[in-house]
Amino acid sequence: MAEKEARYLRRDPRGLAISLLLPVVLLVLYGYAINFDVKQIRLAVYDPDRTQASRDLVRSLTRTGYFRLVAMLPDSADADGVLQSEAAKVVILLPQGFGADLAAGRSTSVQSLINGSDSLTASIALSYLESMIQDWQQRRARAQMPRGALAAPLEVQARVWYNEELTTVNFVIPGLVVIILMMLAALLTSQTVVRERELGTIEGLVVSPLAPAEVIGGKLLPYVAVAMADVTLVGVAGCCLFHVPLRGDPLVLLALTVVYIFAALGTGMLISVMAQSQQGAYTVALVATLLPTMLLTGFIFPVSSMPYVLQMLVQLHPATHFMVIVRAIGIKGVGLHVLWPRALALIALAAALMAASFAKFKKTL
């Protein structure tokens, strides 16, 4: 049965090439397109003070690359216009006498107006502003401190672990691998049994001496090889193009990837056994894998922020557990002593999906 399915794959070299190249293409496209690193935010400034202090504050905001100065407003009333026209995402309004107040030690204020229509960019921009202005204020205070004076009694130094540069790609690429493998493996196997039914060759399987489990197992084996080739290509692309780290044990990751592949193939095979047409099987496999894997398994939105009932339901999806596993092994370098509950859940789901595929396939017309 495995040889028969392999011959079918060889007779469709175009489909086989797409199966091998599509994961790499999707990884490259989505890897460069999905980026939460917000930089070059358009900034407009109203500065009636025009002192050294006000100019230094503006330079401190723009020299980091996170903000790009696009306009110096002649009037504070122009702020509404640049925000409405999207000419700027952020407007800084400095007060008259800003530099004099700072020099005299008096408190002063800086107003920031942010276009909140894009809530993600707005929240990130606000965080950048607060951090940069606070840092500028501390540097200015240290520079004006008399020589020999005692430093501040408390100084906070933050250190980021695992993803030191806070780059999105180290977080996104492992998640994309999880999504692509689930989608592609399920789509490949979703056509196997229902294709036999549509082509009228299901009778040959019915009268064959093979047991139902042997039929399903034989049909799965060639696609295991294709999926492992996809894993190799995607892994090489992720390391070479995006420089994603792999700090954990690669053998542990490989073993759990094989388990995840069987879960994905079992999902597609279960759909193929139950479907009545290839088109229906393809549609169900696409909807059942792509959308839940992308939206509900922690790829973008944390599972912990979802309603409790939904948190329980997504634990039945293999990608929920493998998403945690691949990120933990790749970025954090942890092992099975931490991930064993996720590994056991993944093994149980893969076994359940394969068992359901065997049970649903009946050698009857």
Q: What is the pLDDT of residues 302-330, one digit of tens each?
A: 888 889 999 999 999 999 999 999 999 99
SS3 content of the chain, % helix, strand, coil (to 5): 65, 5, 30
Q: What pTM was computed for the model?
A: 0.79
Q: Evaluate whether residue 150 is within a structural domain.
A: no
Task: Identify the pLDDT of residue 72.
Answer: 92
Q: Are strands 90-93 and 41-46 parallel, antiparallel or unpaired?
A: parallel
Measured in whole angstroms, the distance separating CA 47 from the mean position of its chain's CA atoms is: 40
> Do residues 202 and 129 share a domain?
no
Task: Identify the pLDDT of residue 365.
Answer: 57
Task: Identify the pLDDT of residue 243.
Answer: 87
Name the domain count of the chain. Answer: 2
Task: Identify the pLDDT of residue 14.
Answer: 83
> Do residues 196 and 301 share a domain?
yes
H helix or E strand, kind and range, residue 42: strand 41-46
257 is written with which tokens?
């990837």
Q: Evaluate whether residue 349 is within a structural domain.
A: yes
Kindly give the parts of the chain with pLDDT less than 50.
none
Q: Evaluate whether residue 156 is within a structural domain.
A: no
115, 144, 263, 320 from 220: Cα distances, Å: 52, 72, 11, 23
Q: Evaluate whether residue 308 is within a structural domain.
A: yes
> Do residues 91 and 239 share a domain?
no
> Do residues 71 and 25 share a domain?
no
Alpha carbons 192 and 260: distance in angstroms, whole number: 19
> Do residues 132 and 190 share a domain?
no
157 is written with which tokens?
């130094």
> Do residues 297 and 180 share a domain?
yes
> Do residues 336 and 221 share a domain?
yes
Taking alpha carbons only, the member of 140, 347, 187 closest to residue 259 is 347
46 is written with which tokens?
């109203």
Count Cβ neighbours within 10 Å for each residue of 75-101 and write b for 16 or more, e otherwise: eeebbeebbeeeebbbbbbbbeebbeb
Q: Evaluate whether residue 153 is within a structural domain.
A: no
Q: Evaluate whether residue 162 is within a structural domain.
A: no
Number of neighbouring beta carbons within 10 Å of residue 332 = 16
Q: What is the CATH number of the domain that holds 61?
A: 3.40.1710.10
Q: Evaluate whether residue 318 is within a structural domain.
A: yes
Task: Identify the pLDDT of residue 156.
Answer: 62
Residues 6 or more apart whose Cβ sits within 8 Å of residue 128: 38, 41, 66, 67
Q: Count CA atoms closer than 13 A to 179's CA, side-chain side.
A: 24
Type of residue numbered 193: V
> Do residues 304 and 277 share a domain?
yes
Task: Identify the pLDDT of residue 320.
Answer: 93
Type of residue numbered 30: Y
Task: Identify the pLDDT of residue 117.
Answer: 84
> Do residues 187 and 267 share a domain?
yes
Alpha carbons 292 and 314: distance in angstroms, whole number: 8
Q: Evaluate whether residue 252 is within a structural domain.
A: yes
At residue 93, φ and ψ (nearest 5 deg) are: -115, 110
Residue 90's beta-bridge partner residues? 43, 114
363 is written with which tokens?
């050698």
> Do residues 239 and 336 share a domain?
yes
For residue 56, the SS3 value is helix
Task: Identify the pLDDT of residue 3.
Answer: 86
> Do residues 139 and 172 share a domain?
no
Range of the domain at 289: 2-34+167-360
Question: Do the Cβ atoms of 339 and 253 come closer than 8 Å?
Answer: no
Task: Identify the pLDDT of residue 364.
Answer: 63
Task: Identify the pLDDT of residue 152.
Answer: 54
Task: Identify the pLDDT of residue 63.
Answer: 87
> Do residues 210 and 355 share a domain?
yes
Question: Do the Cβ atoms of 157 and 227 come closer than 8 Å?
Answer: no
